[in-house]
Structure 1
């Protein structure tokens, strides 16, 4: 039954002007490596779509096997004459995927020269935060101690019962690769600090717990009363909401380089504002709690270093260079500047990255776009593209629309391919560990692309007819 859904997606891909792929690999319950393949394109209704296409079994997750699997699927989807349709590939930052000489992205680009690689920006945000915290021992220690709160309660239902009675809120588990989980931990401990102190003192004084639990509870009491811990808790309580906000924006499907560039600029501005207000953060902590371990001057120095590292890493990792320079051409905030001085360097880099664009025509169209204040109001590639389509300007500004399609189709994250993993775990469980690959893909397709199934005319009737005609059955499903 899923074959009809696959055919539907195949028809949409054939009709689309440009497509991009997202891929990520994981292991299922039977320890079989599965590569999740997601296609991104603009459909016939001018809506950006990210469609799950297939779980591909791989014997060994090396660059050669992954690239071969992807190229086989692409050759079936894209005819040789339409190789320029594949304009982007988004993976995580693993060396197997991003290797410039022997990685998957290089092997795919050898066949599809316009398939530019995008390092998932959500992964890069995690790397920014890891770099900012791991380089400073005191900050690294703070997050290790923060993770101990959840571990303390998760090991015992008896401890958790006290937490529920006194605090009334569970502590989220930290995750080394997802900094939004750290954000939840920071916010929970900060908001319930007094309740947690009361909870640990209750465990100490109740006489119902063993010596190890009482000793660990005493350590957490001293931690929550420590001036350095409280300072970092206060500092990251101000930083982490901005990290969490950017992370949530990077998870959206209808994003484009222009939107993400604006979001990253806002994030960098927020970090700079926090840096300038660090003295205020320090003064908010009572003097009695700033007496241990680090003095105010040392706390201030470390806080400045944290903010500077985050800002520098953000600027370095989120630099829009190479093929992403094309986003500068249609960034609304720069239209007035471009009207005075045309961005010839960005135009040359864009045409070099995407040879299918007509340089002379694109320059003429962009000059008209920069002079029209109506276009400047559109913040992002998606709103600008919708404005062109709603006003039937796609023929007048054909090359600009093509560039917008490229920008919108280019994925900024591989989040959708990672979302497929949760479906994989729900479908292929311990009790279904011998499920065939064909059945797995069919069930995954019906689960993740159920909207297609609902919109497909007479889908239920087709399923019943096919089931009834497969073989002779005792029950009569068909009547002549």
Structure 2
């Protein structure tokens, strides 16, 4: 039998081969025009073509020559029509009319030249992308280089902003131009860094040569960087407050240099994420208050809590100064907040209350007023002239004289201490001034002060008494100013101060007499009280002989003790009890939680009453912060397990955190520690305000002021900020 021929004739064979070559050549290298590719040897391409031809011939033998030839002829006549039947190479072009030969065509496509060629190109592209060897490699390298340059530049600019803001230094000068006089600290630091930093130096040179248009050194960029850093710090603080859940608000107001009323907002909370647990007070921002009435201040407080996304129902304490619009029992800010949230306990500032106690004492009698008037006159006499101040400095080697103030908490003790520690030297300075000054009024005033005031034993005794009183009050005031001061410690401090005054009332006068006599001997002054002439009253005709014609006269010393010493001490005791009566209410409600000793000393009945009282106090409508029954059970168990070395409330809370099985007791202690004691943190923020918004910076915008203040006051957060994120945020806003 004759062998079967592959093709009917040589013509059909040549025609089919020609069509395959035309199709191959038309698709060959179509995608290579878009990529750089090493030139492959020609032999490899020829081998692929010959391999494809062999596969096609073999497939033709399998499916039948007539069928293939018919399909080829039909494609020549109808090139745009979809083909029905097993025609090779159509899967990626025109497709098929049916699914009869789908499996075969998939396999054919996978082994086809087009598929292999395109996959080779794609794999080559993938490798080039990984190796960064694409056709735009130079452009991409340049983009990466520029990107790295700007990121490194921004990292340096952020460091400059951090430094200037942290230390409350001015950024700008008279102009914002490089290498010019008085262009400010920011430009000055950039110029200084350019001397040793090649990147900064290259950047400035490119800008000066007009190679780049944007230099990122303007005040607008400064404001953006300040805002980005401050927003990160504020977000971190808000996150801590929300994690703590319960917080207290501390408010205080003061006018700035541009005569705008600024109200500072401080948040106090318990940081449970720190180890050990800490009580923190965070500054958030200044608020311009145009309406300083109780309604305006409370509305401002509500608005800012809403903006900060803090729930006013989570407020568990409020601390203000003793202004009537803040502490008013019927219409004050504290009362309006209590109407909305009855669990927001109000505490008047302890330091303000102590200062007001001193004001009550200083204004209680004429001798006290005369004493502080003399202290102020001595300071004013020397301070009003540089020549007089020089005479004072030549005579004293210790503390300089200080002026009195009714608002500064330590002004009185500083003023009295400067005179009490060196009265002899000050007297010599006054006498020297009386001899050398040509002004008659000054000579007379200096001589009078040296002879009849400092040279008077009664003044020395009063100075000794006042120094003892002021030193005791100042010590307590300093302790209360601590950020982590607790209400139980504050109550103990105030009660200790009252006890000190009660004891001083009995023994203080005799001790003061001994110290005053020592001073008098050193100053060569007679340690006696000036005796007043006794005025004898004429006896009337209807008075009996037995009746005394004269009332019993007190001695000068006894009169001083009764009408001066005892009077101011009694005034101090009464004022302290009246101004700190709120502390007694806290002791009644939270007292059983103050120390482990008080907790262990209570029997079960008293402990249950205390838990129920606390539950009712921390109640709003039908909601309770603590469940009295659950708290009772936990405290009973806690008393048995609490180590002996743990005594204070903060130590107990740390123990509860470690145990993780006393949820109700933990909430009760967190609320206890949230109660504010003073507004000292607000007063400290005013010190920053005066440094930031000074005479030369009085036109500063509020947003910039808040940003700089937040960076300066809460500078501890600077080391925790991810500055790569800041740079990404900056790039996203300015891209």
| TM-score, normalised relative to structure 1 | 0.90
Q: Does 1:213 align with 2:465?
A: no
**Aligned with 1:402 (options 667, 670, 680):** 667
- Give 1:387's aligned residue: 655
- Deviating 4+ runs (over 6 angstroms): none
Q: Higher relative contact order at CA 8 Å, sep ≥6: structure 1 or structure 2?
A: 1
d(CA) in 2 for partners of 1:116, 1:454: 35
Distance in 2 between the 1:343 and 1:148 partners? Answer: 58
Equivalent residues of 2:251, 2:679 under 8 A apart: yes
User: CA 1:368–1:300 in structure 2 vs 1: closer, same or farther (change >3 Å)?
Assistant: farther
1:285 correspondence with 2:516: yes
Which deviates the most, 379-388 or 231-240?
379-388
1:97 pairs with 2:358: no
Question: Secondary structure of 1:61's partner?
Answer: coil
Q: 1:172 pairs with 402, 412, 427, which one?
A: 402
Give distance in 2, aligned partners of 1:462 and 1:154: 54
- Change in Cα spacing, 1:137 to 1:343, as seen in structure 2 (3 Å) is farther
- Secondary structure at 2:331's aligned position in 1? coil
Count the aligned residue pairs: 463
Contact conserved, 1:323 with 1:350, CA < 8 A, in 2? Answer: no
Q: Does 1:314 align with 2:579?
A: no
Q: Report the Cα offset of residue 96 of structure 1.
A: 0.6
Are 1:250 and 2:480 matched, yes or no? yes
Change (3 A) 1:285 1:443: closer
CA distance, structure 1, for counterparts of residue 407 and residue 286 of structure 2: 23
1:114-160 alpha-carbon deviations (Å, 9 max, x no partner): 21211111111112222223122211221222222222221111111
Distance 1:290 1:78 in 2: 68
For residues 345-399 of structure 1, the C-alpha deviation after alignment (integer angstroms, 9 at most, x for no partner) is 5444422221311111222333445566735x5453223322333xx2342x322
Q: Does the C-alpha gap of structure 1 residues 368 and 148 become closer, same or farther in structure 2, counting only changes over 3 Å? A: farther
2: CA distance between counterparts of 1:466 and 1:339?
A: 59
Equivalent residue for 1:417? 682
The structural deviation recorded for 1:465 is 5.1
- Residue 400 of structure 1 aligns to a residue in which SS? helix
What residue number does 2:361 align with?
132
Q: Counterparts of 1:352 and 1:359 in 2: how far apart (Å)?
A: 9
C-alpha RMSD of the superposition: 2.3
Structure 1 422/13 Cα, relative in aligned 2: closer, same or farther at 3 Å? Answer: same
Aligned equivalent of 2:233: 5
- Cα gap change, 1:346/1:152 in structure 2, threshold over 3 Å: closer, same or farther? farther
Q: Which moved more, 1:421-430 or 1:331-340?
A: 331-340
Secondary structure of the 2:602 match is helix
Q: Does structure 1 retain, via aligned residues, the 8 Å contact 2:607–2:632? A: no
| Residue number in structure 2 paired with 1:264 | 494
Change in CA separation of 1:443 and 1:324 when aligned onto 2, cut-off 3 Å: farther
**Match of 2:629?**
360
Equivalent residue in structure 1 for 2:267, among 18, 36, 39: 39
Select the residue among 18, 23, 26 that pairs with 2:254: 26
1:439 corresponding residue in structure 2: 704
Unaligned runs of 5+ in 1: 473-480
Is the 1:19–1:409 contact (alpha carbons within 8 Å) kept by the matching residues of 2? Answer: yes
Question: Any idea what the Cα deviations from partners look like across 1:256-300, whole Å, max 9, x if unmatched?
Answer: 111111111222222223222122322443382332278110122
Q: Secondary structure at the match of 2:454?
A: helix
Q: For 1:238 and 1:343, how far apart are their aligned partners in 2?
A: 41
**Which segments of 5 or more consecutive residues in structure 2 lack a partner in the other structure?**
1-227, 521-525, 532-554, 620-624
Cα distance in 2, alignment partners of residues 341 and 143 from structure 1:
54
Partner of 1:342: helix, strand, or coil? helix
1:55 partnered with 2:319 = no
Does residue 1:67 correspond to 2:298, yes or no? Answer: yes
Specify the structure having the higher radius of gyration (Cα): 2
Decide which of 425, 430, 435 is 1:195's aligned counterpart. 425
Deviation at 1:196, TM superposition (A): 0.7
The alpha-carbon deviation at position 322 of structure 1 amounts to 3.7
Q: Who is 2:27 aligned against?
A: none
**CA 383–242 in structure 1, closer or farther in 2 if over 3 Å, else same:** farther
Contact 1:282 1:300 in 2 (8 A): no
Using a 3 Å threshold, how does the CA distance of structure 1 residues 60 and 312 change in structure 2: closer, same or farther? same
Q: In 2, distance between residues paired with 1:339 and 1:198?
A: 66
- Contact in 2 for aligned 1:24/1:37 (Cα 8 Å): yes
On the 8 A contact 1:19/1:88 being kept in 2, the answer is yes
Q: Kindly indicate whether residue 557 of structure 2 is the aligned counterpart of residue 296 of structure 1.
A: yes
Match of 1:426 among 691, 694, 710: 691
Match of 1:453 among 718, 722, 734: 718
Cα pair 1:427 1:440 within 8 Å, conserved = yes
Contact 2:352 2:409 in 1 (8 A): no
| Matched-pair contact (CA < 8 Å) for 1:129–1:179 | no
Q: 1:227 to 1:394 in 2, by over 3 A?
A: farther
Q: Is the 8 A contact 1:132 1:309 kept in 2?
A: yes
Tell me the CA shift for residue 5 of structure 1.
1.4
**2:322 aligned counterpart, secondary structure:** coil
**Cα distance change on mapping 1:323 and 1:279 into 2, 3 Å:** closer
Whether the 8 Å CA contact 1:339–1:367 is kept in 2: the answer is no
Distance, in Å, in 2 between the alignment partners of 1:309 and 1:9 is: 43
Deviations 1:143-189 (A, max 9, x none): 22222222222111111111111112311221112342111112221
The secondary structure found in structure 1 opposite 2:252 is strand
The 1:146–1:437 alpha-carbon spacing in structure 2 relative to 1, beyond 3 Å, is same
Q: Write the distance in 2 (CA, Å) between the matches of 1:226 and 1:125.
A: 30
Change (3 A) 1:341 1:28: same
Q: Which residue of 2 aligns with 1:338?
A: 602
Q: Does 1:328 align with 2:591?
A: yes
1-side partners of 2:429 and 2:321: how far apart?
41
Q: Is the 8 A contact 2:252 2:320 kept in 1?
A: yes
